[in-house]
Amino acid sequence: MNQKGGESIAVRLRDAARMLNVSERTLWSWAQGGLVPCRRIACGGKGRGTLLFSVDALRQWAAQPDVNDGGADASSR
């Protein structure tokens, strides 16, 4: 994706999952449920598209107390 000082400003599902230390399936599920910030972009004619995650938005999301407190239900956000 685009570079900002040598760092990506947006990443695909696989890299975003690695950043958050979760499985791709878990992150995909969170994205489908609107629990994690992302954008779907058109990709070819298959209609599925590709999920993109802003690196800054992921960092802000992960820094929220209810994400890191170990006991909160992510669906409560």
pLDDT at 23 over 80: yes
- Summarised one tens digit per residue, pLDDT across range 43-68 is 766 667 889 999 999 999 999 987 65
Confidence band (pLDDT; 50, 70, 90) for 34?
very high
Buried residues in 49-71 as b, exposed as e (16+ CB within 10 A): eebbbbbebbeebeeeeebeeee
Domain that holds residue 56: 3-65
As a whole number of angstroms, the distance between CA 6 and CA 30 comes to 28
- Whether 76 is in a domain gets the answer no
Number of structural domains the chain divides into = 1
- Whether 75 is in a domain gets the answer no
pLDDT of residue 32: 92
**Whole-angstrom Cα Rg for the chain:** 13
Contact in structure between 53 and 11 (CB atoms under 8 Å): yes
As a whole number of angstroms, the distance between CA 2 and CA 9 comes to 6
CATH number of the domain within which 19 lies: 1.10.1660
- What's this model's pTM, rounded to 2 decimal places? 0.72
